[in-house]
Structure 1
Amino acid sequence: MGLCLLAQSHLPHKFWVEAFTTAAFLINRLPLHHLGNVSPYEKLFAKVPDYRFLKTFGCMCFPHLVPYNKHKLMPKSNPCVFIGYDNQYKGYRCLDVASSKVYISRNVQFDELTFPYHNRMADSPPPEQSSPPLFLEPLLPHLCLPATFSHLHLLPLRPNLHPRPVTRLPSLHQLPPFRRLPLPLPHHRHLSLLQTLLLHANLGASMLLLIPHPGIPFLTG
């Protein structure tokens, strides 16, 4: 019943205590079948509850505020929201939405067809829903180089006008004799022979590239 009161009155969830307290107040005054169609209130106090005292939860009300006023120029009543019944005094709890004050009064005029929080939700604009863009612009055209790269100048490559002399490499007949190395595994006794390819660059550096050749055993100096 408490959830029904919140949904019907359109009150925020922060008023769930008032809603469930009012629900318990109403249930205690409703006749129950297992009590012989007698309400718990009547069973306890031996008198029929006053149903004319019950009002619609969350409706607009106008309590008599003269006892709360500090001077005579203050208004005698303000539009409030009915949020339940008081447990200590026989009166109605009225919430002033503007000042967030709760007044307890017995002299209250009710407008049970108007719900202030329902009207506030209808007047408030719906929340804006942000949707992702359908097309994303590429970021590469907008990228800029750092300042350190903007002052660099590319230098053209110049050919080497004075190449270093080429050093003659010894031929295969001038190399020292080779000796065989024993291999640990019998099936690896014969490996490929290394074919020597001599390459030499314009910078004067010489490289010796060894390429295996099938059919010649592995030799080392």
Structure 2
Amino acid sequence: MLIYTQALLFLWAEAVATACYTKNRSIIRLRHGTTSYELLHNKLPELSFLQVFGALCYPTNDSENLGKLQPKADIRIFIGYTPIKKAYWIYNRRTRRIVATIHVDFDELMMMASEHSSSGPALNEMTPTTISSCTTFKK
């Protein structure tokens, strides 16, 4: 997760916590046919608020002294979920602070664009020779 998002190395603890949080709510136990969260709490987990680690986000600036020309949001980086309430941990690179907030808009188009700009050949460029050159088998 840290390599994919090109995040700073001191965020490794947040990356591990976010991975555990996501895994506990998404991995299905084949023996029981449920998630680990469902086994502990006897209810289905809420998954609509899950976000991609390292996604750009814009927390709303609701301060009273906000002028007409001042920005109403600031660019931050999503780094995890708070353990007690349904809020997000976000990191500000400019001030180097981590803040918990619930009023956040996520830039999902940026994450979708990075999925489409891969280093491999495009789908319309796939021929048997390009497919065989891209695949390597280890013995």
Normalising by structure 1, report the TM-score.
0.45
> What is the alpha-carbon distance in structure 1 between the residues aligned to residue 17 and residue 79 of structure 2?
10
How far has the Cα of 1:113 moved from its partner?
A: 4.4
Contact 1:59 1:113 in 2 (8 A): no
Contact 1:29 1:49 in 2 (8 A): yes
Pairing 1:56–2:38 present:
no
1:103 aligns to what SS in structure 2? strand
**Equivalent in 21, 28, 41 of residue 25 of structure 1:** 21
Counterpart for residue 10 of structure 1: 6
2:91 aligns to what SS in structure 1? strand
> What is the alpha-carbon distance in structure 2 between the residues aligned to residue 102 and residue 35 of structure 1?
39
Q: Higher relative contact order at CA 8 Å, sep ≥6: structure 1 or structure 2?
A: 2
Contact 1:63 1:107 in 2 (8 A): yes
Larger fraction in helix: 2
> What is the alpha-carbon distance in structure 2 between the residues aligned to residue 107 and residue 44 of structure 1?
29
Pairing 1:80–2:76 present:
yes
Contact 2:82 2:89 in 1 (8 A): yes
> What is the alpha-carbon distance in structure 1 between the residues aligned to residue 57 and residue 50 of structure 2?
13
Counterpart for residue 91 of structure 1: 87
Moved over 2 A (4+): 31-35, 69-76, 112-115
> What is the alpha-carbon distance in structure 2 between the residues aligned to residue 111 and residue 9 of structure 1?
14
Larger Rg: 1
> What is the alpha-carbon distance in structure 1 between the residues aligned to residue 87 and residue 61 of structure 2?
13
Counterpart for residue 117 of structure 2: none
Pairing 1:44–2:59 present:
no
How is 1:160-179 mapped onto 2 (pairs within 5 angstroms)? Answer: none
**Unmatched segments (≥5 aa) in structure 2:** 115-139
2:100 aligns to what SS in structure 1? strand
Normalising by structure 2, report the TM-score.
0.69
Pairing 1:104–2:116 present:
no
